[in-house]
A and B are shown apart, each in its own frame.
Chain A
Amino acid sequence: DIQMTQSPSSLSASVGDRVTITCRASQSVTRFLNWYQHKPGEAPKLLISAASTLQTGVPSRFSGSGSGTDFTLTISSLQREDFAIYYCQQTHGSPPTFGPGTKVEIK
């Protein structure tokens, strides 16, 4: 299985801050990398597919980049509703695997 890691595992930030989350794969996943946002008690939400394609309805403050083994999710100006856990997921190999998550908390 392709192993996914994320850093940091958690971070504290203020509204308006720029936040960057890193995801690394144990082998190349080309650009088959998705990002999800998950708030407790809610359904996870797909934010970005194929490393950088923003899903319809997702605010433009979210962006993704990377290819191969190294990827980033950036929130350009953190809003209150962005406090959540963020997961990366690779779909290059089978089974698809997720990163352990990055918890974004209010400072």
Chain B
Amino acid sequence: QVQLQESGPGLVKPSETLSLTCTVSGGSLNNYYWSWIRQPPGKGLEWIGHIYSSGSPSYNPSLKSRVTISGDTSKNQFSLELTSVTATDAAVYFCARHLRFYSSGWSYAFDIWGQGRVVIVSS
């Protein structure tokens, strides 16, 4: 079955760039939407953005100026870059796949998630 695994540095210095990769195993990046979601300590889940296959990114307006999501179908991976990080960017970062379905209109849910990558922001 399809599995997702986040990887990347667990410690990032303030003002630097957070970079994470999600590797898709047991399936293909093609023809699906893929998202990044984060959860700061003690807080709720926040959608960061998504990508379709390896293109057409869409971002949360609250983070849009600092986020880039890209995909590499040859490696079956998609990545997150978040620039100019501060302590408020410390969180567990999840990658997830979209399940699209029709129910009185097209919608979606996140049907497969990675286990999450803890990222600390500290000098």
A residues touching B (Cβ–Cβ < 8 Å)?
A: 30-32, 34, 36, 41-46, 49-50, 53, 55, 87, 89, 91-92, 94-101
Which 3 interchain pairs have the tightest Cβ spacing?
Answer: A50-B103, A43-B113, A98-B45
B107 at the interface (CB under 8 A from A): yes
Q: Are B104 and A44 in contact (CB under 8 A)?
A: no
A99 to B108, CA, bound (A): 17
Q: Please pick, from A31, A44, A55, A101, the residue contacting B113 in the complex, using a CB distance under 8 A.
A: A44
Residue of B nearest to A87 (CB): B45
Q: Please pick, from A31, A43, A44, A94, the residue contacting B103 in the complex, using a CB distance under 8 A.
A: A31
Within residues 71 to 109 of chain B, which ones have a CB less than 8 A from any CB in chain A?
Answer: 94, 96, 99, 101, 103-105, 107-109
- For B104, the chain A residues whose CB sits under 8 A away are 30-31
B95 to chain A, nearest CB (A): 10
Q: Chain A interface mostly helix, strand, loop or mixed?
A: loop
- For B114, the chain A residues whose CB sits under 8 A away are 43
Q: Are B94 and A53 in contact (CB under 8 A)?
A: no
Q: Please pick, from A30, A31, A42, A44, the residue contacting B110 in the complex, using a CB distance under 8 A.
A: A44
- For A42, the chain B residues whose CB sits under 8 A away are 115
Residue of A nearest to B43 (CB): A100
Q: Please pick, from B47, B94, B99, the residue contacting A96 in the complex, using a CB distance under 8 A.
A: B47
A106 to B20, CA, bound (A): 35
A87 to B62, CA, bound (A): 21
B44 at the interface (CB under 8 A from A): yes
- For B105, the chain A residues whose CB sits under 8 A away are 30, 32
A98 to chain B, nearest CB (A): 4
Residue of B nearest to A97 (CB): B47
Q: Are A49 and B109 in contact (CB under 8 A)?
A: yes
Q: Are B44 and A46 in contact (CB under 8 A)?
A: no
- For A97, the chain B residues whose CB sits under 8 A away are 47
A87 to B112, CA, bound (A): 15
- For A95, the chain B residues whose CB sits under 8 A away are 47, 60-62
